[in-house]
């Protein structure tokens, strides 16, 4: 019976999996509906982009330095880890692999359940200790301070795959449509969406970005964690280092713990899985719901596992304030199970879930074509 169920899931996924092509002619122009724009923080007015903050030489230096660290240090760490193994300085063991998986799980829990579902979307109401825990874990994820992360993400939802989106693979935030004209431009868009946006001032230092997160500024717990971000970032390296040193019983183990639980984990989490949401989950996969963007449910099960369910991205963009990402029996959302467990034991007071009527109203009833110009399906 179990084998038959698993086989049924695989067949269903293969039959429903498809590619989204973003270069076809415009057929239908959709605008985000109330559910898609149900985002905390609001947006009282549009602020025209200016270059004052971008042209400041000190800001440029800090931004470029941080971009170098975030982009290249994890890659160098992975290269060093395998080089030292190749020359026989150490042998990769279950300790290194376990530390990488453990720290990945903790950081993704903080990013997905804290930074994303809670602080960006307010999709559930937790007890204070749950809120603080997820904010601290997310701060070890090497993706930036909590309030900044939430601001960028709320802006992404407000302008998903349209001008002012910080990390769309189809358009730059300043509105230039340079990523929709042929394979090379789409490749450049892929790079921008994955990691290039970190190097783009309009994406990371947008004027008036704080207007998206006024509610978070008023939360003293979140503000304290936000301004002490660097301490939690360092903890993300010290914790696996201490565990590695204890298990190996020497300083070499400390180094390996930092290397695998820190740099390798950051590479696998950010470069290989979570950041791929910006690209793969806006280009490849199924689209059960009508949304005013290119969001998809990409690489089911395989991609959903390391992202704690975030790869069901079309589900999420259709209902951003929902605390659950899996809408079908064959969809697997670890984050949903964690939240439901906390809810069952009284550590979460309430969870937002779309109604059956809301889900049916947004289901795609016929095949539609895709176009960048409309940014829609």
Return d(Cα 204, Cα 172) in angstroms, integer. Answer: 12
At 339, is the pLDDT very low, low, confident or very high (cuts 50, 70, 90)?
A: very high
Model confidence over 255-281: pLDDT tens digits? 999 999 999 999 999 888 888 899 889
Model confidence over 153-198: pLDDT tens digits? 999 998 899 888 999 988 877 766 566 667 777 788 889 899 989 9
Residue 194 tokens, joined: 């994955």
Which of the pair, 4 or 126, is modelled with greater confidence? 126
Residue 155 tokens, joined: 């802006």
The confidence score (pLDDT) of residue 245 equals 97
With 80 as the cut, is the pLDDT of residue 373 above it? no
Q: Is the dihedral of CA 321, 157, 292, 169 positive or negative?
A: negative
pTM of the model: 0.86
**DSSP, residue by residue, 82-107:** HHHHHTTS----HHHHHHHHHHHHHH
The confidence score (pLDDT) of residue 35 equals 62
Return d(Cα 171, Cα 359) in angstroms, integer. Answer: 28
Model confidence over 30-82: pLDDT tens digits? 567 666 666 676 654 444 544 455 456 666 788 888 899 999 999 999 999 99
Q: Could you give the percent of the chain with pLDDT greater than 90?
A: 58
**DSSP, residue by residue, 205-269:** S-TTGGGGGHHHHT-HHHHHHHHTHHHHHHHHHHHHHHHHHHHHTSHHHHHHHHIIIIIIHHIII
Return d(Cα 113, Cα 350) in angstroms, integer. Answer: 14
Return d(Cα 248, Cα 240) in angstroms, integer. Answer: 12
């Amino acid at each position: 019976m179990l084998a038959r169920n698993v086989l049924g899931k695989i067949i269903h996924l293969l039959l429903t999996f498809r590619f989204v092509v973003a270069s076809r002619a415009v057929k239908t122009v959709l605008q985000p509906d109330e559910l898609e724009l149900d985002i905390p923080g609001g947006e009282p007015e549009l602020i025209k982009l200016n270059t004052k903050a971008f042209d400041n030489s000190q800001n440029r230096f800090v931004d470029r330095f941080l971009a170098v660290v975030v982009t290249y240090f994890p890659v160098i760490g992975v290269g060093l880890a395998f080089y030292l193994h190749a020359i026989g300085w150490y042998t990769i063991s279950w300790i290194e692999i376990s530390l990488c998986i453990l720290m990945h799980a903790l950081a993704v829990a903080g990013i997905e359940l804290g930074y994303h579902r809670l602080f960006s979307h307010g999709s559930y109401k937790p007890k204070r200790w749950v809120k603080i825990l997820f904010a601290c874990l997310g701060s070890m994820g090497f993706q930036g301070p909590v309030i900044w992360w939430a601001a960028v993400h709320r802006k992404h939802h407000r302008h998903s795959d349209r001008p002012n989106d910080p990390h769309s693979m189809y358009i730059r935030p300043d509105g230039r449509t340079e990523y929709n004209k042929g394979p090379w431009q789409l490749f450049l868009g892929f790079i921008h969406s994955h990691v290039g946006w970190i190097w783009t001032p309009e994406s990371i230092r947008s004027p008036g970005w704080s207007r998206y997160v006024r509610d978070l500024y008023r939360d003293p717990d979140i503000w304290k964690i936000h301004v002490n971000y660097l301490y939690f970032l360092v903890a993300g390296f010290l914790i696996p280092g201490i565990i590695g040193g204890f298990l190996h019983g020497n300083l070499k183990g400390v180094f390996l713990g930092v290397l695998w639980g820190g740099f390798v984990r950051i590479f696998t989490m950010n470069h290989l899985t979570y950041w791929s949401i910006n690209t793969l989950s806006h280009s490849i996969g199924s689209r059960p719901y009508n949304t005013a963007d290119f969001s998809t449910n990409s690489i089911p099960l395989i991609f959903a596992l390391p992202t704690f369910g975030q790869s069901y991205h079309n589900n999420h963009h259709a209902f951003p304030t929902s605390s659950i990402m899996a809408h079908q029996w064959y969809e697997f959302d670890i984050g949903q199970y964690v939240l439901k467990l906390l809810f069952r034991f009284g550590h979460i007071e309430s969870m937002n879930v779309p109604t059956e009527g809301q889900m049916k109203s947004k289901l795609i009833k016929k095949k539609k074509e895709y176009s960048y110009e409309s940014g829609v399906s």
